Chain A
Amino acid sequence: MAIIEIKDLRKTYKLGNERVHALKRINLTIEKGEICCVLGTSGSGKSTLLNMLAGLEKPTKGSVFIKGTEITKLSEKKLARFRQENLGFIFQSYNLLNQLTALENVAMPLMFKGMPRKRREKIAAKMLKSVSLDNRMKHKPSQMSGGQQQRVGIARAFVTKPSVIFADEPTGNLDSHTTEDVMKLMVEMCRKYNLTLVLVTHDLGISEYADKIVHIIDGEITSVEKNISKYDLEKVKVKIGERIEINEK
């Protein structure tokens, strides 16, 4: 079942007399539970596409449907509500609020939904535990490493159990080892709750975690390839390993 449908999406920026065609006729469907990676070089239009999908920017032409709702046509208030209910965000630069603790940061989207403090902090604490940060709840972002901050970011994105999570270069600021951890964590959480993840990156290594890799060059999709996620492969490997172990016994 398609959870995201993109139809003839175009985005043109006008800078004086010059026109920048950031996206040219994008058509794409993303299935529910899929991990979709948009892969492209810098300036290819990845972020523009993601912003459009998330309703942060209005397209010049075309439309985006998420769960059957044409989000490009929603009013500001309805869009805010749609985000509360259905969308999660993970940013390259984490975008945590510096004056809030990890716990408060994670609980924030629930606060916007109007959930009382006790309940939302309980849920947030559970979420932080599942990203192995139960010992950092009262820490402020400035007191945590980049990897820890991004895990807080991930917890925040998942806390509302959204349908779709958007992540723009979520590992862009992390070293290769932490990148692996964070990627595994994200995919694991998506699998656990059967969520759809749209991931934007220029890093081939990261795209290996996706079920579907969308190549984008100069605002155009050049190819869409199916992939077996590295996460699933490793799981299988572990299982095979276990079986070998059993067999050996």
Chain B
Amino acid sequence: MKIFDIIKMAFKNLWRRKGRTLLTVIGVVIGSCAVIVMISLGLGMNLAMDNMLASWGDLTAITIYNYSYGVSDESVALDDDAVESIKAIENVSYVIPRLRVESNMVTIAAGRSDRYRMDWAEIYGVDFSLLDKMGYTPETGEFPSEDEYSSTIIFGNETAYNFRDTRKRGDKQYTWKQYLSDGTYTLPFIDPQDEKILVAINNTKQQNDDGTYQYGGRGYEYELNCSAVLMQDPNWETVYSVLIDINVAKDIIDDYNRRNGVKDANDPQYTYVKVVCDDINDVEEVETQIEAMGFNCSSMADMRGEMKKTLGIIQLVLGCLAAISLFVAALSITNTMIMSIYERTKEIGIMKVLGCYVGNIRSAFLFEAGLIGLLGGIIGTVLSYAISIGMNYFGAGVMASLLGTSGDTPVSIIPLWLVLLALGFSTLIGLISGFVPANRAVKISALEAIKSE
């Protein structure tokens, strides 16, 4: 028999029993729909989780905190050598060290005769060419170009509120961000982008009455331009800090040591290093390697792993429910096929007597069963798309408020591979369900069959 004739025969037989075929197909539709929707929900959950974590920080990043710097001598030095060896780890795309200039080392000032002063500033030295890799974005202004690195300072979004007005007395010296009844808020004394910012080295031997140090003087002053104010970062790390180029930071530390007679200063150690991996999935491996070098690190991957486990259990339960409905659908295909074989016993007998190969008969039945599966899969996919769109339309808000992510995170995602998988799987289920009936059809004795009515 020609393949085409086998296929046609299968189609005809399905069409002959439209009602029953339809009911069986509906079973598969429900089953495949359940599977697709459950998996799509699972994918949606994963994405929502990643979005949520991403809103907390970079998922590919590992941060190394050097807590023990200056506390214990036994700790491994987080210096340039360490940075180099971390860079050498596989799948690490960037290593961005951040150098902290201790707040007692400098005074930051602005305005005529240093009217506005910041006595205790958090100053970080960062490689200015990697500002965006570090996750910083300017809220106003622009990041400096290469030739401006050494003359630029960047403010955190609320750093300017740390300036105090030295002409005033008491509480009037200070200002802070305060929302007013008309919707605006208080501004700092100065806009740093309008002023020259002076970073001056303290002389810690000369302390003023109010506890501040004498600062500045020839050779101990850096006059910088504020080119940008940062957007608030998710970790609130830069809100009250300033950033300068790492080389400037190193110079400042040298200057401080020289001025204050610190002799055997070690090479500067970093208090914080950000390691960015090529891919989310590399994070765990890189993290263990860094830990093996003796550093403390943390990443979103740890939390992601935990959350994934929890989500995995939920998804497994949902998946099992879906699988049960697909299993029921499979039983109903088997049942339908057995019924139709009973009905067609005589027909099969006649075909055998007239010389039809049993292989052809088997193929026809398998094709029929597979077709039921495929049809159910196709309709199920279409239906799943509809359900998915509906859920995304009505459920996205609920999900977003639940997880605290943005409202456009879809609840359910149906990628192409899921569609193909569902179609393939439902066809396979059909074929498997048709296997036993098809073999039964093949075993029917031709003689018995033509005798039967």
Interface residues of A (CB under 8 A from B): 51, 54, 56-57, 76-77, 80-85, 87, 89, 91, 95, 97, 99, 108-109, 111-114, 116-117, 156
Contacts and interface: CB of A to CB of B under 8 A. Distances in A.
Contacts of A95: 346, 350, 353, 450
A162 to B, nearest CB: 10
B450 A80 contact: no
A89 B357 contact: no
Contact of A80 (B346, B347, B358): B358
Interface in B317-367: 346-347, 350-360
A51 B445 CA distance: 12
Given A54-B353, A83-B355, A108-B351, 15 more contacts: A77-B359, A83-B354, A85-B355, A89-B353, A91-B450, A95-B350, A95-B450, A97-B350, A108-B354, A111-B2, A111-B5, A112-B1, A112-B355, A112-B356, A156-B354
A83 B357 contact: no
B352 A80 contact: yes
A89 to B, nearest CB: 6
A104 to B, nearest CB: 10
B350 A112 contact: no
B64 to A, nearest CB: 72
B263 interface: no
B1 A56 contact: no
Contacts of A112: 1, 351, 354-357, 360
A99 B358 contact: no
B280 interface: no
A109 B355 contact: yes
A246 to B, nearest CB: 46
A112 B359 CA distance: 11
Given A57-B447, A99-B16, A80 B1 contact: no
Contacts of A76: 358
Contacts of B356: 80, 112
Contacts of B347: 97
Contacts, number: 56
B12 A83 contact: no
A97 B352 CA distance: 13
A91 B2 CA distance: 26
16 contacts: A77-B359, A80-B357, A81-B355, A81-B357, A83-B353, A84-B354, A85-B355, A91-B450, A95-B346, A95-B450, A108-B354, A109-B355, A111-B1, A112-B360, A114-B2, A116-B2
B2 A56 contact: no
Interface in B347-392: 347, 350-360
Nearest to A79: B355
Given A57-B447, A99-B16, A109 B2 contact: no
A21 to B, nearest CB: 19
B323 to A, nearest CB: 37
A97 B351 CA distance: 9
Given A112-B351, A117-B5, A56 B357 contact: no
A20 to B, nearest CB: 16
Contacts of B1: 111-112, 114
B446 interface: yes
Nearest to B347: A97
Contacts of A87: 355
Contacts of B12: 99
A90 B347 CA distance: 15
A84 B346 CA distance: 19
Nearest to B353: A89
Contact of A77 (B346, B353, B357, B450): B357
Contacts of B354: 83-84, 89, 108-109, 112, 156
A160 to B, nearest CB: 8
